[in-house]
Amino acid sequence: MQLDLSGRTALVTGSTGGIGRAIAADLARAGARVVVNGRTEPRVDGAVTHLRDETGGEVVGVVADVATAEGAEEVAAREPHVDVLVNNLGIFGPQAALEITDDDWRRYFEVNVLAATRLIRTYLPGMTARGWGRVLDIASDSAVVIPAEMIHYGMSKTALLAVSRGFAKEAAGTGVTVNSVIAGPTHTGGVEGFVRQLVGDELPWDEAQREFMIKHRPQSLIQRLIEPEEIAHMVTYLASPLASATTGAAVRVDGGYVDSIIP
C-alpha cells in the first residue's frame, strides 16, 4: 500500500514522546508536514530535531498546552490549516476509586476529552470546506474495559469514543472522516512507571512486564505490551486516502485485549 500524505499538514498533540512521537514519525515518513506539540520548548525542540533526523521529513513544533483554551487558540494561530488532526494528548494514573476527587474527575475530563473537542471544533470547519480531512482521537482499551484502578481514566476515554462518533456524524458527506483508535497496553516511558507502581521495582523489566500482563491485563492475546510504532501504523493508514470509507469507527490496536468480535 502507498500511504501518501504529501501536501498534507498533520498536527499531533502531546507528541514529544511515546505514542505521539511515534505517530509523528510515521506521518512524516508518509510525506506529511508534521506539527509536533508539547508544553515545554526544550522537549518540543528536541523532538523536532530528532524527528527531522530520523525521517528526513518536514517537521515543525508548536509549544502550547492544548488542554487549555488559550493553548488551543495559540496552536490555531500558528497553524490555521490542518488536514490531519491527531488528538493524542492524554493523562493516566492509578487511583483508588473512592479517593478520586472532584478535581481529579474534572482534570481527566478536561485533558483527555475537552482538549480534543476544542481542537475538533477549531479545525473541522476548514476540513469540511476543503472537502478532505482526517480527525483521529487516540482512545484506549480502558474505554471499554474500565480498569478498577483507573475509573476516571476509563470514563474519559469512553467519552472520547462518543465525541469521535458524534463528530463523524457532523462531518457526514463532506469527505472528512473522524475515527478513534483504541490503543491497548503500550510500551512507553509512562507505562513503564505505571507497571512499576503495580508490580514493584525489584524485577528486571522483561519479568516485570510479563507479571503485569498476567496479573493486570490477562485478556491480552499477544501477551506483551504493544510498541508505539504499532499504534502509529494504524493512525497513518486511517489518515491516508486509502481509508476514505472508514469513519465513525473505533478501530482497535489492542493486542486482542478487548474481548469482542466486533471492532
Q: 173 and 194, same structural domain?
A: no
Domain that holds residue 212: 187-225
| 88 neighbors 115 (Cβ within 8 angstroms) | no
Q: 197 and 162, same structural domain?
A: no
Q: 210 and 124, same structural domain?
A: no
User: How many separate domains does the chain show?
Assistant: 2
Specify the 3-state DSSP secondary structure of 157: helix
Q: How many Cα atoms sit within 13 Å of 210 on the Cβ side?
A: 5
What pLDDT score does 1 carry? Answer: 82
Q: 194 and 143, same structural domain?
A: no
Q: Is residue 258 part of a domain?
A: no
Q: Is residue 259 part of a domain?
A: no
What pLDDT score does 262 carry? Answer: 85
Listing DSSP states for 90-121 in one string gives -------GGG--HHHHHHHHIIIIIHHHHHHH
For 179-189, letters b (16+ CB in 10 Å) and e give bbbbbbbbbbe
Q: 156 and 202, same structural domain?
A: no
Strand arrangement, sheet containing 250-253: 59-63, 33-38, 9-12, 84-87, 133-140, 176-183, 250-253
- Is 257 annotated as catalytic? no
Beta bridge partners of 34: 10, 59
What pLDDT score does 194 carry? Answer: 85
| 59 neighbors 52 (Cβ within 8 angstroms) | yes
Closest CA to 222 of 212, 213, 235, 231: 213
The CATH number of the domain where 152 resides is what?
3.40.50.720
Listing DSSP states for 172-225 in one string gives TTTTEEEEEEEE-SB--HHHHHHHHHHH-SSS-HHHHHHHHHHHH-TT-SS-SP
What pLDDT score does 222 carry? Answer: 94
Q: 121 and 71, same structural domain?
A: yes
Q: Which of 123, 153, 237, 257 is catalytic?
A: 153
Q: 70 and 32, same structural domain?
A: yes
Q: 142 and 209, same structural domain?
A: no
Per-residue pLDDT of the chain (263 residues; tens, 9 = 90+): 889 999 999 999 999 999 999 999 999 999 999 999 999 999 999 999 999 999 999 999 999 999 999 999 999 999 999 999 999 999 999 999 999 999 999 999 999 999 999 999 999 999 999 999 999 999 999 999 999 999 999 999 999 999 999 999 999 999 999 999 999 999 988 889 989 999 999 999 999 999 999 998 899 999 999 999 999 999 999 999 999 999 999 999 999 999 999 87
